Structure 1
Amino acid sequence: MSQVSTNPDIKLNDGVTIPQLGFGVFQVPPENTQEVVAEALDCGYRSIDTAAGYRNEEGVGAAIAASGLARDEVFVTTKLANPDQGYDSTLAAFDASMDKLGLDVLDLYLVHWPCPDRGEFINTWRAFQELQEAGRIRSIGVSNFLPHHFEQLFDATEVVPSVNQIELHPYLQQQELRDFHARHGIVTEAWSPIAQGDVLGDPAIVEIAERHGATPAQVILRWHLQLGNIVIPKSVTPSRMRENLGALEISLSEEDMAAFAKLDKGENGRRGFHPDRFNGYPEDFQNR
């Protein structure tokens, strides 16, 4: 593999920078989270993505506290749990998350889902703005928003989200939504970047990986990086954590990128909930 750069930073629309390749803890059991995140930090990850709905913020905070790393060396993202949407409830939920994380200032706070039937994401966003203005959050963004959700935000508020974290992988490439982000200065962040493993055996991806002497996961993550996405793969296995960082040492050709583009299945490729049909009730709000 040809050596490329170390983990690059992405600059957000508010001037905050975030490592492009981070580490996600979705579905990491709370009792294992501290150990898993400690291993990720030891491997070299410096961006950790959690959520109130994952119920593992305490483990993330404990691992960071025990790491010996300076606070400004680790970028921390968490997300508001869907049942807590609303102005006052958002402020209270944020305090609860910060207590669990053991932090004074959060790097990035996301509205986890638009939950359109609830009709609260604009009030929620106003609370986010207040927290940012008070210096308690460096950057504020959203997750799983579609253009019409953004248009409602734009009509009602002044601050454009810095990030939209969406399901994005070779089978669900969301080109139209990514184009919308680009027009409005919103950075795309990919969750489920390898479709929960469903794309690893795709013959086209296997062929690209073999050509580069890499694994399928590495070339998929490299595809994300070359698109300009922030990407947050998850693994509880130290060897795979290190393997994923190997994506930084690969460079895909235009031919490779064109082969990836042909894999898009549109909505048929979606593995998670559609944002217009998910309202995040308590029994399922852990879902991505």
Structure 2
Amino acid sequence: MNRSDSILDKPLTRRRVLGTGVAGAGLAMLPWQTALAAKMDPQAADKAMIKRAIPVSGEKVPAMGMGSSGSYERLSSSSAEELRTVMKEFVAMGGTLVDTSPSYGNAETNIGNIARETGVREQLFMATKVRKTSREATLDQFRASIDALGEPIDLLQIHNFIGLDNQWATLRQLKEEGRVRYIGITHYLTSAFDELEHQMATKELDFVQFNYSIMTPDAEERLLPMAADHGIAVLVNRAFNDGRIFSETKGQALPEYAKEFDCFSWAQFALKYVLANETVTSVIPATSDPEHLRDNMHAGYGKLPDAGQRKRMRETIAAL
């Protein structure tokens, strides 16, 4: 394609190498690492964050990502400080993949500003979305995302099928020009699985994003096997069922057997269940609470449950 035919007129800027985060860089242990090591199996305590390969390229990303719906949408002076801590510790604990969308209030702008303020933007694998029905509106929205988040945009996704039939060619051209590195589609409802299955079978997707959890495991039957067969990376949303896992487990003791796979909270219980399926590339819970962020990120360290343990986990949740 000639430069004069470029889909965008803004020049492409820098490229950075993944995997250069703070964690695993041979630095002295941070307080969270010391606490984690005290709990985990000694043979697992010194291991880095679990990483999974993106099938289309082989590039590896951390299994624990971070979403932004609700958490980064609105800022006050106190919440901004907490989110700066969340962002810094997310990267320090081995995270890189941040998922956002123009539909999440001011999340893109807030994420971009906080990432730059904390000096971690270069280390982030940035995923966002478009949700427009016309080509020009899609390009305008993408330009706005670049202005808010900065470059590069690593993953661009069509949000909840909006404009999918018309705009897939636009995303493909953006990828061909190197404006984005990967493209995909998203949804968050089990009722969308039929359409997701169709799109996964008929389009050359790099990524697909859908809901999957220990409480809603339907994706195990259809979408996860299809993603494995077609070589599509998987981002998982709603791993906590919009917080339902915490209301169901409130006041309940974590089962003793959870220690067998380095699990020490109900949040880790839910996240490790999802990550135990090796087709899952990354799970993206959102939080604005630094302590919750640390708890979530611990799920990406140590052992994951095997098939027998996963069955036992499902039985535990069903019995609550």
TM-score, normalised to structure 2, is 0.71
Residues 275 and 304 in structure 2, CA contact (< 8 A), matched pair in contact too = no
Moved >3 Å (runs of 4+): 32-37, 145-155, 200-206, 208-213, 260-265
> Paired residue for 1:169, among 213, 226, 235?
213
1:271 is matched with none
Give me the whole-angstrom Cα distance separating, in 2, the residues matched to 1:24 and 1:130.
26
> Paired residue for 1:99, among 144, 147, 150?
147
> Paired residue for 2:55, among 4, 10, 13?
13
Residue 108 (structure 2) pairs with residue 57 (structure 1): yes
2:292 is matched with 240
SS in 1 for 2:183: strand
Residue 93 (structure 2) pairs with residue 40 (structure 1): no
In the TM superposition, 1:53-202 aligns within 5 A as 53-55=103-105, 56-69=107-120, 71=122, 73-80=123-130, 82=131, 84-103=132-151, 105-115=152-162, 120-144=163-187, 146-149=193-196, 151=198, 155=202, 160-173=204-217, 174-175=219-220, 176-200=222-246, 201-202=248-249
CA shift, 1:218, in A, is 0.9
CA shift, 1:136, in A, is 0.9
CA shift, 1:95, in A, is 0.7
Give me the whole-angstrom Cα distance separating, in 2, the residues matched to 1:14 and 1:224.
21
What count of residue pairs does the alignment treat as equivalent?
Answer: 254
Give me the whole-angstrom Cα distance separating, in 1, the residues matched to 2:207 and 2:316.
25
Deviations along 1:237-271, whole A, 9 cap, x unmatched? Answer: 11111111211234324432122455899xxxxxx
CA shift, 1:202, in A, is 4.4
Structure 1 residues 68, 251: CA separation in 2 closer, same or farther (over 3 Å shift)?
same
Structure 1 gaps, min length 5: 266-288
Structure 1 residues 86, 178: CA separation in 2 closer, same or farther (over 3 Å shift)?
farther
Give me the whole-angstrom Cα distance separating, in 2, the residues matched to 1:182 and 1:14.
11
Give me the whole-angstrom Cα distance separating, in 2, the residues matched to 1:130 and 1:150.
23
Residues 77 and 108 in structure 1, CA contact (< 8 A), matched pair in contact too = yes
SS in 2 for 1:113: helix
Give me the whole-angstrom Cα distance separating, in 2, the residues matched to 1:93 and 1:213.
41
SS in 1 for 2:276: helix
CA shift, 1:19, in A, is 2.0
Q: Which range moves more in the overlay, 29-38 or 57-66?
A: 29-38
**RMSD of the TM alignment (CA)?**
2.7
Q: Which amino acid aligns with 1:227?
A: N
TM-score, normalised to structure 1, is 0.78
Residues 113 and 142 in structure 1, CA contact (< 8 A), matched pair in contact too = yes
Structure 1 residues 12, 264: CA separation in 2 closer, same or farther (over 3 Å shift)?
farther
Q: Which range moves more in the overlay, 254-263 or 87-96?
A: 254-263
CA shift, 1:153, in A, is 7.2
Select the structure of larger CA radius of gyration. 2
Residue 265 (structure 2) pairs with residue 215 (structure 1): yes
Q: Which amino acid aligns with 1:23?
A: M
Deviations along 1:134-155, whole A, 9 cap, x unmatched? Answer: 1110111111263545535765
Give me the whole-angstrom Cα distance separating, in 2, the residues matched to 1:20 and 1:197.
20
SS in 1 for 2:127: strand
Residues 88 and 127 in structure 1, CA contact (< 8 A), matched pair in contact too = no
Structure 1 residues 151, 198: CA separation in 2 closer, same or farther (over 3 Å shift)?
closer
Q: Which amino acid aligns with 1:165?
A: Q
Residues 263 and 269 in structure 2, CA contact (< 8 A), matched pair in contact too = no
1:227 is matched with 277
SS in 1 for 2:161: coil
Give me the whole-angstrom Cα distance separating, in 2, the residues matched to 1:129 and 1:191.
24
Residues 205 and 260 in structure 1, CA contact (< 8 A), matched pair in contact too = no
1:258 is matched with 311
